[in-house]
């Protein structure tokens, strides 16, 4: 596949972006090596103990008896051979190459208690070896200087390496609290993140201009709530009820975004019911799945609406998908088709930001690339401007990182409001003037840490 900036504007964006990101890289982020080393030791101890525990189990002994060579408990190849060849267990999932999978989900489904120890070891090693070790390797004078690169990604997004600043654990609490507690602002400063609200959805809307989607984005209605209502038969939807919020998140991540990216109802159904709804494959029994506040279970609730199994839920979601594209967002659907046809005729796709990809691409690629890429270019444009202004105003605050649709700052406590004001102006006011094809209002969300607080201590901060 060939890719290139196709306008001077696109070329300039990457030229200035490279210079700005080089400064971001030079700024760096403070790292607490004492805490890191303490966690390294603690994890090593835990891993050793769990390994010991695992090795006295009947499961391990049987595994070792099954083969002549010494077992390496870290080898998924050996584990798959033992489980699926020797013990003849049927895996619930296979890998791309058709072998039985040994990922977290598949091993948990086997309900072999000893395997939980193996998964625990895998998780602890991930934290220690992928994150802490790479942080330690890259530390210079108490700072990390992650690389931010613009020349690797097919969609013209950025990437990060040495260490990768863009995939530090956030959702899973244990991993988050170990890794992010290593990273700090400079002494007396605060960490702050500013990110665009639902940027990719807004950029997609600029391409397809679906009136229903534009209405959602312009009037701030809750699209994910509406879809959750429809998928899960909720007649009174209320985001502030925890169970409803759970189902809303499920609809958002397990269906809406998946459909936007090109997934289809069958995979979404399994994911929604099993991963998000905690229901089993096959038939459902009373009391199974996540619980509502009144004690009812998701299985009971769906049964009341005529759905008592995964296959019935699949049929239900097929209808939802049909409605989603043909009734709710038909103009979005039509854009996907005409955009795909255009690529098939010309052999390339143009981004609104002036970049061009040509060569062999799948349909999903053709639909996703210009959205993902242009969304990042919005962030990069704002980052270049904000970086320039912080220097021009001789401020103490610095940009120290970039995560696709977010900018990470190391801010002087007296400059918090100024940095927000300056950034907000660039992100929501001037950016849509520069890229006049943006057709919905942009929003900024802030997360702020206390003075000398680590990256684990950021809290949502209301922008005035």
Partner DNA sequence: GGAACTCGCCAC
Partner DNA sequence: AAACGTGGCGAGTTCC
Is 76 an interacting residue with respect to DNA (CB under 7 A)?
Answer: yes
- Write out the binding residues for DNA, residues 293-352 only, by CB under 7 A: none
Q: Which is nearer to DNA, 15 or 122 (CB)?
A: 122
Is 277 an interacting residue with respect to DNA (CB under 7 A)?
Answer: no
CB 289 within 8 A of CB 232: no
Is 75 an interacting residue with respect to DNA (CB under 7 A)?
Answer: yes
The site for DNA, by CB under 7 A, has a size of 67
Is 257 an interacting residue with respect to DNA (CB under 7 A)?
Answer: yes
Q: Which stretch binds DNA (CB under 7 A): 163-171, 214-222, 351-359, 387-395?
A: 163-171
Q: Which is nearer to DNA, 169 or 449 (CB)?
A: 169
290: left (phi over 0), alpha (psi -120 to 50) or beta: beta
Residue matched to tokens 């900024």: 444
Is 43 an interacting residue with respect to DNA (CB under 7 A)?
Answer: no
Binding DNA (rule: CB under 7 A), the pick from 68, 96, 433, 462 is 96
Q: Which stretch binds DNA (CB under 7 A): 53-61, 358-366, 387-395, 423-431?
A: 358-366
Is 353 an interacting residue with respect to DNA (CB under 7 A)?
Answer: no
Q: What are 304's two structure tokens? A: 């009341």
Q: Taking the complex as a whole, how short is the minimal distance between the CB of residue 323 and DNA, in angstroms?
A: 15
Binding DNA (rule: CB under 7 A), the pick from 197, 262, 280, 413 is 262
Calculate ∠ Cα 199-204-209, nearest 5°. 125
Residue matched to tokens 């991993």: 175
List the x/- string, 367-406, binding to DNA by CB under 7 A.
Answer: -xx--x------------------------------xxxx
Q: CA separation (Å) from 146 to 24, 161, 405, 422, 447?
A: 9, 6, 17, 25, 21
Is 181 an interacting residue with respect to DNA (CB under 7 A)?
Answer: no
Q: Taking the complex as a whole, how short is the minimal distance between the CB of residue 52 and DNA, in angstroms?
A: 16
In terms of Cβ atoms closer than 10 Å to its own Cβ (0-12, 13-18, 19+), residue 388 is: middle
Q: Taking the complex as a whole, how short is the minimal distance between the CB of residue 256 and DNA, in angstroms?
A: 10
Q: Taking the complex as a whole, how short is the minimal distance between the CB of residue 300 and DNA, in angstroms?
A: 27
Is 446 an interacting residue with respect to DNA (CB under 7 A)?
Answer: no
Q: Which is nearer to DNA, 322 or 417 (CB)?
A: 322
CA–CA dist 223, 230 (Å, integer): 11
Q: Which stretch binds DNA (CB under 7 A): 50-58, 167-175, 214-222, 326-334?
A: 167-175
Is 267 an interacting residue with respect to DNA (CB under 7 A)?
Answer: yes
Is 118 an interacting residue with respect to DNA (CB under 7 A)?
Answer: no
Is 25 an interacting residue with respect to DNA (CB under 7 A)?
Answer: no
Is 166 an interacting residue with respect to DNA (CB under 7 A)?
Answer: yes
Do you find a cis peptide bond into 310, omega within 30 degrees of 0? no
Is 129 an interacting residue with respect to DNA (CB under 7 A)?
Answer: yes
Q: Taking the complex as a whole, how short is the minimal distance between the CB of residue 179 and DNA, in angstroms?
A: 9
Q: Which residues bind DNA (CB under 7 A)?
A: 72, 74-78, 80, 95-97, 99, 101-106, 119, 122-123, 125-126, 129-130, 133-134, 149, 152-155, 157, 159-164, 166-172, 175-176, 195, 257-258, 261-264, 267, 271, 362-365, 368-369, 372, 403-406
């Amino acid at each position: 596949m060939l890719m290139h900036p196709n306008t001077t504007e696109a070329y300039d964006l990457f030229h200035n972006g490279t210079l700005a990101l080089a400064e971001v890289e030079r700024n760096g982020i403070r790292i607490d090596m004492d805490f890191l080393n303490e966690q390294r030791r603690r994890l090593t101890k835990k891993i050793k103990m769990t390994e010991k525990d695992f090795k006295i189990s009947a499961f391990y002994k049987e595994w070792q008896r099954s083969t002549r060579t010494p077992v390496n408990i870290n080898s998924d190849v050996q584990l798959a051979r033992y489980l699926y060849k020797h013990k003849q267990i049927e895996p619930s999932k296979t890998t791309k190459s058709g072998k039985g999978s040994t990922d977290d989900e598949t091993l948990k489904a086997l309900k072999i208690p000893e395997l939980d120890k193996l998964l625990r070891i895998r998780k602890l090693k991930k934290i220690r070896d992928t994150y802490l070790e790479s942080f330690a390797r890259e530390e210079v004078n108490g700072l990390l200087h992650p690389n931010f690169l613009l020349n690797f990604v097919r969609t013209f997004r950025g990437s990060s390496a040495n260490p990768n600043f863009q995939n530090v654990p956030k959702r899973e609490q244990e991993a988050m609290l170990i890794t992010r507690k290593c990273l700090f602002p400079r002494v007396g400063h605060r960490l702050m993140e500013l990110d665009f609200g639902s940027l990719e959805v807004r950029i997609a809307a600029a391409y397809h201009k679906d009136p229903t989607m534009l209405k959602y984005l312009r009037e701030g209605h809750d699209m994910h709530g509406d879809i959750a209502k429809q998928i899960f038969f909720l007649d009174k939807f209320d985001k502030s009820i925890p169970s409803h919020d759970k189902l809303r998140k499920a609809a958002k991540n397990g269906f809406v975004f998946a459909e936007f990216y090109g997934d289809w109802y069958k995979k979404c159904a399994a994911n929604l019911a099993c991963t998000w709804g905690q229901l089993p494959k096959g038939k459902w029994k009373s009391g199974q799945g996540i619980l509502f506040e009144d004690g009812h279970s998701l299985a009971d609730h769906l049964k009341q609406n005529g759905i008592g199994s995964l296959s019935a839920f699949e049929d239900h979601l097929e209808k939802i998908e049909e409605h989603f594209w043909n009734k709710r967002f038909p103009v979005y659907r039509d854009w996907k088709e005409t955009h795909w046809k255009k690529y098939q005729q010309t052999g390339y796709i143009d981004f609104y930001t002036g970049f061009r990809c040509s060569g062999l691409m799948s349909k999903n690629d053709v639909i996703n690339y210009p959205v993902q890429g242009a969304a990042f270019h919005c962030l990069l444009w704002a980052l270049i401007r904000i970086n320039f202004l912080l220097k021009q105003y001789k401020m103490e605050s610095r940009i120290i990182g970039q995560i696709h649709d977010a900018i990470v700052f190391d801010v002087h406590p007296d400059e918090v409001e100024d940095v927000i004001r300056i950034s907000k102006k660039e992100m929501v006011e001037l950016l849509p003037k520069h890229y006049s094809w943006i057709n919905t209002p942009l929003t900024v969300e802030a997360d702020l840490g206390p003075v000398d607080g680590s990256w684990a201590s950021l809290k949502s901060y209301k922008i005035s």
